[in-house]
Structure 1
Amino acid sequence: MDWVLIAQPRISSGIGTVIVNSEWMGTFTHDSDMCNKLHMAGVPVWYVRTMAYIPANMKVHKPVLITHSDDIVISMYAEGNRIRPYDIIYRGQGGHQRQLHVRHLYGGTTFRNPDVTVPSSASSSSFSTPNSSALTPSSQTSAAGRAPQQSLKKHRRQPYAREARPTQPSQSGESRDKWKDPESPYLPPSLLHWDDALKTCNKDPSRVHMPYAIDWGYRFPEPALLLGPKLPERLQGYIATWLACHLLWIGRVDHDLPCNYPSPQLWRDFLGSGLTTQSQGAAPKGKDPEKKGPTAAEKCKAVMRDLFGSVEFRGEQVLVASLANPPRRLTQRITWELFELGFRYELRDLNRSLAGKHWADDLIGREQLLHSIFPGKAGLVMWSEQFPEDNYGMWNNTLIGVLPYLEKFRELICAWDGAPPLLVALLTPDSFTDTKCWEVMHTATVFYVQTFFRHFGRPPIVPHSIPL
């Protein structure tokens, strides 16, 4: 009624007041004319625009970053082959623990208070955290729908454990060189500048800063680790488990940083947690091996089908059954997103550490500078936008398309200690040629990779070409 009797007549007549009624809820708009009208009518209003598009004659009371609450459920859950919305099972104070509490794929205990510790002797449907280094069969069903840090929080690393070695044992027992991509049809094409930067990096362990000031764990699973399993049923399990939890984990990394990021082994344990011990091994001892029954692969497929049915990627429903032999284009898109997410959030954490004074002096400005390196309106988060159909941002095929994003990247990292002189100079359209673009790109990627190694003791996750 206040809107009808007070605000609307003021807007229609053009006679308003600059006294804003703080008791009104207010509104959001991206129209500058409507913003002025609402403000003059006394309505609290938030003008949603980047700083570059705000009219010069508009007086901004206070710039703010757009965020979302951690306790809002923004996805659906799968029950068998059916997708259902969450039931309203709790009303009261929100929080991250309660959100995790209702995301399980089975019922029976969701009415319990998630803050109460459940005894370890509880049944398989309890919400206790696994105590062993590997998930037990009774806890695997619940773990598949949770974020890795929540499921595996009992795993703790030594504070200054090192991972500076260029090779790391893979799941199959072979050593893998993490400084280059393994041969796989499921990985997107690499980018020339980043390939060269990884090859030329000085990998001497003595150059690593110790003790670690930044958590060296992996913000997201390594794309090569996601594709590590050789058996089709285990590959299916890894991809399905990641897709089932990736929205929750992205939100966690973006808004509610975990105490410790998972190591590669923890990611491997988590991604394989949807598979029961029985589905992975041969026939149990004491039974006739010639007796007919489901094979290990068939058991594994049944487990995955019962757990998920279907999972979602970029708004598209993906049948878990199709992931035993995953489509090449879909898998390349999944791994491309992992490369991009890993790069963005590692860049964020490294920059916050190396340019801490800039962040302390101008938090909003540094956040906007970081976000402006990447196209789109979602900041560092990507799953809320459509999948790009062509290389964009710093990897655009035209100079005019590359310039604004490369300039922001240069501006961000030139504040780090030891920045090359070439990165200090401002990039302008007049002097931005193909040669200049190549020189700055080459210098920036080499500087980033070497700086990252000094502070993390491992190779960074770097961007890749969009799979077309």
Structure 2
Amino acid sequence: MGAFTTDPAVAQLLHRAGIPVWHIRPKVNMDEIVVDAIVTTEQPELVCQALESGASPIYSGLVGPALFRAVSRRAHLYLDVSRSPLLLRYDQETFRASTSPPERPGQRLAAHERPQGRGRGRANSAARGSHHNSPHPSHTPSRGRDKTVDPVHDWMPRRLHSWDLAMRSVDRSAPAKRQEELWGYWTPEPALLLGPQNIARARRYIKNWLRIRPAWLYLLEHPYARITRVQPQWWRDYLNGEIEGDTPHDETRRSKRLEQVRCVFQVAFDMKDYAPVPDQPIHWFTHRMTDPPSDLCPLIVWELHEIGFRYELLALDRVLVPMLNVENADSLREELLSRVFPDHDLYYVHDIPESPRGLCATIPAARVRSLEAFRQVLVRWPLCPEPVRGADRLALTSAQAQIETVEVAMVTFYVQTFFAYSGRPPIVPHALPPFRES
């Protein structure tokens, strides 16, 4: 028993009544098929790669205030945002201008004087030590403290052995650069913070650095913040708190210098709003303090060495390997240089490690990965010595003697090259000082 129908409504009624039913559909012919559009799937322009081995995420959880607090304190950029700091950036026009003959004999342009890229034309001659047509035989140490030697201070971390050898053996026989040709400092020279003999004053230097540190590091990554030329004396004036208050109306040399310092630091904060409250707490990583404690000061100085070394390495690499016509040159350079550091960040120290790592590791085998990444950077530079360029690839299986020999050769080449171009010793990595959370 059963029924069949061509009406779908009748088929539903019979089915609900429990009667077997066959729904007969009429034959339909489609004479034409119309396609409105064909959509081709494309690879999304998003960063889908996993974090590099060794990198640690700064936050895990839902998007919200906690995420933005983590970003503001631990990193200044999202992973998929391009990072382009203002460090001797080149373009085609400024490169042509820099390679043209100077206006007068002996004139040279220091790299820090032209943030947009001048100073490239006489790069090779600087590496050979031919700095001026009319040499003036004064040497850098005669201008003040010998910066190849760290000051003796309880808060100064120990300099790494290979870097100490390179700094003490730097060749300063070539004529010194003029004062106006010396490179400035992207961050304060760490020894400057420990220069005062008075502990209270040294603590004030460190406190003032920590106050400006988040804004300053953020501005260093901004492509249009012109803050790359800061002389040591200018840093000293700021760290000592001498830029507060109204601008003096006298025309003394000191008042003019303080006005120049204000012009530099006002990119980080409005001077009329700069009125630091002594009891206002300062944040530094996970620490919150009103006065930097003595047991934490060595770590603060250590981090300043790390940051200074990274920015100076990037600046020198921009001079020696301009990559003028290379597509995505900034990204390629950042990717290469960031491998030198265990946190894979070229601009920022993500956290204070519990134990030495990277270039600071105490065991040579633990430094291999960072040393080999450093060697890959140096082999691109002009006049790279054969012990570095021709060395076998450093690996965990490399002999300790081989690792240490190549390390000394690399470090010596870097220090001497930086000195030749900048006219001053570089900021170099130091050993991680011990610290126990109280």
Q: Same fold (TM over 0.5)?
A: yes
Corresponding residue of 1:403: 368
Q: For 2:346, what is the secondary structure of its paired residue?
A: coil
Shift of 1:457: 0.5
Kept after mapping to 1: 8 A contact 2:138/2:175 = no
- 1:238 aligned onto 2:260: no
1:226 pairs with one of 193, 200, 211: 193
Give the residue type in structure 2 aligned to 1:261: R
Corresponding residue of 2:251: none
Q: Give the TM-score of the pair, scaled to structure 1.
A: 0.56
The change in CA–CA distance for 1:164 and 1:413 in structure 2 (over 3 A counts) is farther
Corresponding residue of 2:151: 182
Give the residue type in structure 1 aligned to 2:168: K
Kept after mapping to 2: 8 A contact 1:229/1:235 = yes
Q: For 2:241, what is the secondary structure of its paired residue?
A: coil
1:316 pairs with one of 254, 272, 287: 287
Q: Give the TM-score of the pair, scaled to structure 2.
A: 0.59
Question: Separation in 1 of the partners of 2:396 and 2:164?
Answer: 29
- 1:454 aligned onto 2:425: no
Question: Separation in 1 of the partners of 2:352 and 2:244?
Answer: 33
Deviation digits for residues 111-132 of structure 1 (CA, Å, limit 9, x no counterpart): xxxxxxxxxxxxxxxxxxxxxx
- 1:422 aligned onto 2:390: no
Q: For 2:216, what is the secondary structure of its paired residue?
A: helix
Deviation digits for residues 243-290 of structure 1 (CA, Å, limit 9, x no counterpart): 01101111111233525421000001111226879xxxxxxxxxxxxx
**Which range is displaced more, 451-460 or 175-184?**
175-184
Corresponding residue of 1:389: 354
Q: For 2:288, what is the secondary structure of its paired residue?
A: strand
Larger CA Rg, structure 1 vs 2: 2
- 1:49 aligned onto 2:50: yes
The change in CA–CA distance for 1:168 and 1:221 in structure 2 (over 3 A counts) is farther
Give the residue type in structure 2 aligned to 1:262: V
Shift of 1:19: 2.5
Q: For 1:357, what is the secondary structure of its paired residue?
A: coil
Give the residue type in structure 2 aligned to 1:351: D
Kept after mapping to 2: 8 A contact 1:234/1:272 = yes
Shift of 1:380: 2.6
The change in CA–CA distance for 1:209 and 1:423 in structure 2 (over 3 A counts) is farther
Corresponding residue of 1:294: none
Give the residue type in structure 1 aligned to 2:175: S
Q: For 2:375, what is the secondary structure of its paired residue?
A: helix
Corresponding residue of 2:41: 19
- 1:366 aligned onto 2:337: no
Question: Separation in 2 of the partners of 1:219 and 1:210?
Answer: 17
Question: Separation in 2 of the partners of 1:347 and 1:405?
Answer: 14
Give the root-mean-square deviation of aligned CA atoms.
Answer: 3.8
Question: Separation in 2 of the partners of 1:377 and 1:274?
Answer: 37
Deviation digits for residues 130-188 of structure 1 (CA, Å, limit 9, x no counterpart): xxxxxxxxxxxxxxxxxxxxxxxxxxxxx99999843376xxxxx42211001100111
Kept after mapping to 2: 8 A contact 1:194/1:462 = yes
Shift of 1:232: 3.9
Kept after mapping to 1: 8 A contact 2:419/2:426 = yes
Q: For 1:312, what is the secondary structure of its paired residue?
A: strand
The change in CA–CA distance for 1:44 and 1:253 in structure 2 (over 3 A counts) is closer
Corresponding residue of 2:269: none
The change in CA–CA distance for 1:339 and 1:44 in structure 2 (over 3 A counts) is closer
Kept after mapping to 2: 8 A contact 1:399/1:433 = no
Matches for 1:157-172 after TM superposition, within 5 Å: 165-167=139-141
Question: Separation in 1 of the partners of 2:244 and 2:346?
Answer: 38
Corresponding residue of 2:264: none
Question: What is the aligned length?
Answer: 295
Kept after mapping to 2: 8 A contact 1:370/1:412 = yes
Give the residue type in structure 2 aligned to 1:342: G
Shift of 1:308: 5.0
Shift of 1:241: 1.0
Question: Separation in 1 of the partners of 2:141 and 2:415?
Answer: 17
Deviation digits for residues 367-387 of structure 1 (CA, Å, limit 9, x no counterpart): 2110000011433311xx221
Gaps of 5+ in 2: 1-38, 55-67, 74-118, 120-130, 246-273
Matches for 1:190-339 after TM superposition, within 5 Å: 190-206=159-175, 216-256=183-223, 257-258=225-226, 260-273=228-241, 306-307=277-278, 309-319=280-290, 322-323=291-292, 327-339=293-305
The change in CA–CA distance for 1:75 and 1:403 in structure 2 (over 3 A counts) is closer
Shift of 1:390: 1.3
The change in CA–CA distance for 1:228 and 1:399 in structure 2 (over 3 A counts) is closer
The change in CA–CA distance for 1:188 and 1:357 in structure 2 (over 3 A counts) is same
Shift of 1:361: 5.3
By relative contact order (CA 8 Å, sep 6+), the higher-ranking structure is: 2
Kept after mapping to 2: 8 A contact 1:219/1:262 = yes
1:434 pairs with one of 395, 400, 406: 400
- 1:412 aligned onto 2:377: yes
Identity %: 29
Kept after mapping to 2: 8 A contact 1:241/1:274 = no
Gaps of 5+ in 1: 1-16, 21-38, 54-71, 77-158, 170-174, 278-302
- 1:356 aligned onto 2:322: yes
Deviation digits for residues 203-243 of structure 1 (CA, Å, limit 9, x no counterpart): 1242769995xx70011111111122233443232111110
Question: Separation in 1 of the partners of 2:147 and 2:419?
Answer: 12
Kept after mapping to 1: 8 A contact 2:369/2:395 = no
Q: For 2:282, what is the secondary structure of its paired residue?
A: strand
Q: For 1:206, what is the secondary structure of its paired residue?
A: coil
